Copies of this chain bind each other. A is one copy, B any other.
Amino acid sequence: MSTPQRRRRTRTDAERNRDRVLEAARALFAESGHDVQMSEVARAAGVGIGTLYRKFPTREALIEAIAEHRAADLVVAARRLADADADSDADSDDQAQGLTGFLYHVGEVLAGDRGMSEVIGTVMGSAEPRGETREALLAVIAELIDRARARGAVGQDVTAGDVNMVICGLAAVIRNAAGDWRRYVEVTLDGLRPR
């Protein structure tokens, strides 16, 4: 029946180290993908392996934490594009501007982040049951599609799932340097147009 006294606040240095780890890992993963070693991350962060493990009990946990962040960034970007799309008049030569912009943005991001390109497939795939961020992303994508469709820029039958697939493929193209990813985006966008 002991009354638990209020916990001391988290040590400031602990917090600082967490940030350092996160940042170092983000950079390393972006540069070389997820096959970087935990010890490397720790070194890059200027922290001991023990500390790294205190923050993230597992390599997987670390990767997941970062992937989550980056995915959330994508949601934000998509949100912005959707809003911009809402404002703009229908005078642009690209009637699907929001969606178009989004796909190119994703390409840009993946092209600059090896790690992300390795995981986005899983994130978007039907794998993870818990996908708060995933749901959010699908929602915004659906919105982008609706806007484009309202202007007759994409087929009536296009769904967020379709874009999902396209992104999944895009990541693979980028990872394998299988060609010019911009061309890929161009082709798939054409494929989504009506008729």
Interface residues of A (CB under 8 A from B): 121-122, 124-127, 161-162, 164-166, 168-173, 175-181, 183-184, 186-193
Cβ-closest chain B residue relative to A172: B172
Instruction: Please tell me if the beta carbons of A168 and B178 are within 8 angstroms of each other in the complex.
Output: yes
In the complex, are the beta carbons of A127 and B161 less than 8 A apart? no
Using Cβ atoms and an 8 Å threshold, which residues of chain B touch A168?
Answer: 169, 172-173, 176, 178-179
Secondary structure call for the A interface? helix
Chain B nearest CB, measured from A28 CB (Å): 22
Which of A177, A178, A186 gathers the greatest number of chain B CB atoms within 10 Å? A178
Among the listed B166, B178, B183, B189, which residue makes an inter-chain contact with A125, where contact means beta carbons less than 8 Å apart?
A: B178
Residue of B127, B172, B184, B188 near A121 (CB, 8 A) is B172
